[in-house]
Chains A and B, each alone.
Chain A
Amino acid sequence: MTNDTLLSVKDLKVYFPAGDGIARAVDGVSFEVRRDETVCLVGESGCGKTVSALSILRLNPVPPAEIAGGRIMFDGQSLLKLDEESMRRLRGKHIAMVFQEPLTSLNPVFTIGDQIGEAVSIHENIGTEALHRRCVQLLKSVGMPFPEQRLKDYPHQLSGGQRQRVMIAMALACAPRLIIADEPTTALDVTVQAQILQLFKSIQKKRSMSLLYITHDLGVVANIADRVYVMYAGAIVEQGNTVQIFRHACHPYTQGLLASLPSRLKRGKRLYSIPGVVPNPAFKPKGCPFHPRCPYAEPVCREEFPEMCDYGDGHLARCPVLFDKRDL
């Protein structure tokens, strides 16, 4: 952990009851987000991205969730030890969250103005006039056309992209140091997605803010990330900067994901496809959880959970088999 670190998650374990057994949804996840940095957490559905993100703000209902281990440090504070009152103060003020489904996270019976106003006044005591000006300015800062009129609208009167802009405006309301965005553009069209990504970038240019961006879309990752964590079956399997991950992927899963992306440049060639499916977290294979799908698997992979191997310059991958072959 460097001085620069804003958020650090260490060996986080979040379990759920699943029938007779337990679903180890998040099983020893470690990552960090530095100041002003954009970090992407990428992985296929069910690998534990959302559960990890919600744990940071302690939004996983306990029970059924059980925090089975780990430590989350934010700016010197241990979040898992914080009392509920301090946690509430932290949410929105220092760490804000943007979700995939803006319609379900906005209240249908209140206007946009009411909801942004609420987000501001939870943490700040300002007069009606000033509050109104703040709301207009927030909507303007997220590129909303006709912000004055929009304040009077209800969520259903806006398009998906506009609703996501409102969510981002609310997240920005108290100038948080960290925004956690969980698949914020997955439900949107590509052109709208491009606008939202551009919006995050331009906000970061204007003021100091870190972004933890969760997605399953590698194209989005390449577009926005400084550093990337690839997740599989509840664990980080590879981490590095964008060039390390996209040009020099060292984990068979990351390599497989990249190879299976379709593009017009691969026309006529067969797409690589990773055989099999993501394991159910209640029945994870022993050893390396990727072994049933891995073309490089060796007998040891069925027995031992692999260690992270250090390729230098912050590039790590959880695959000793390829690490041992690296210079061959």
Chain B
Amino acid sequence: MTITVEPSYDDVQMLVDEVWTSFLGSEEPLLPGAPTDLAVGWSAAVTVSGEWHGMVSVELPTGLAEEVTRRMLMVEETLDEDVADAVGELVNMIGGNVKSLMPGPSVLSLPVVAAGRVARPSDSVEVCRLDASWAGTPLLVSVYVRKDA
């Protein structure tokens, strides 16, 4: 039987904040937000497997995903492949740091990116959920672990 260990909300919030301010600038802070039903335009996920098993996902409305892409690539116009790349790198950075919060060693997967919601494995439960907003737009970071049999 695997023991379900989960990252603390504060740790996840802190590392997401660091990813955000490092690459998207500190003039607009990432603020904790109330849970909303956000219109997911883009999402991305990475899985962690080894001593700890889990999945980390990021969900963003289209406009925000595009803004993130513009800031990372320093371009005016974004193609879908650019957005997929940038959102993928975002979840890679968040996921890699979540992995380090947990008992290791574990392996991080390459990101899976989707226009819309990425499917999460049916045998998993959400153990940490960070609702936030940036420049008035909501976003969601979640950590899932496998349900104990």
Is B truly associated with A?
no
Measured CB to CB, the residues of B under 8 A from A are none
Which A residues contact B (CB, under 8 angstroms)? none
